[in-house]
């Protein structure tokens, strides 16, 4: 199975998602998107695959979202995408792509439905236990 994660190693949710992928036996392609942001066509493709408007992918916490006034409805889809490309920290994470689908994995256990052999149980960095029913 091909698994790609758009990852921010400074983010606990992203680290937990990556750990869940690896615990499932997959070796994902890891794209540290803050250092290697997606192209416009790639970002648009991810949004389409997630059936999500750009506004829904914007991250508010720890970003210039408020400073730029991105909550204002005046921003078009293309303008919001421009902002995410210029400031990749605005892209919420982690985004995971597999043959089973593409989604933002918040919380991290959202990744389990995308994996062929998800782990049945996992403990997150903060000690929270995650269980996943057998398919």
Which residues have a catalytic role annotated?
11
Q: How far apart are CA 68 and CA 70, in angstroms?
A: 5
> In sequence order, which residues have a C-beta less than 8 Å from that of residue 117 and are 6 or more positions away?
24, 25, 26
**Exposure string over 35-52, b if 16+ CB within 10 A, otherwise e:** eebbeeeebeebbeebeb
Residue position matching structure tokens 């408020």: 66
């Amino acid at each position: 199975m091909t698994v790609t994660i758009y990852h921010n190693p400074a983010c606990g949710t992203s680290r937990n998602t990556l750990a869940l992928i690896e615990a499932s036996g997959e070796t994902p392609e890891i794209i540290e998107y803050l250092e290697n942001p997606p192209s416009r066509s790639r970002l648009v493709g991810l949004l389409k695959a997630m059936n999500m408007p750009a506004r829904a992918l914007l991250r508010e916490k720890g970003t210039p979202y408020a400073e730029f006034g991105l909550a204002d409805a005046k921003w078009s889809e293309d303008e919001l995408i421009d902002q995410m490309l210029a400031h990749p920290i605005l892209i919420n994470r982690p985004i995971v792509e597999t043959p089973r689908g593409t989604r933002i994995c918040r919380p991290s256990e959202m990744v389990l439905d995308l994996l062929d052999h998800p782990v049945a149980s996992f403990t997150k960095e903060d000690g929270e236990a995650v269980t996943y029913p057998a398919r």
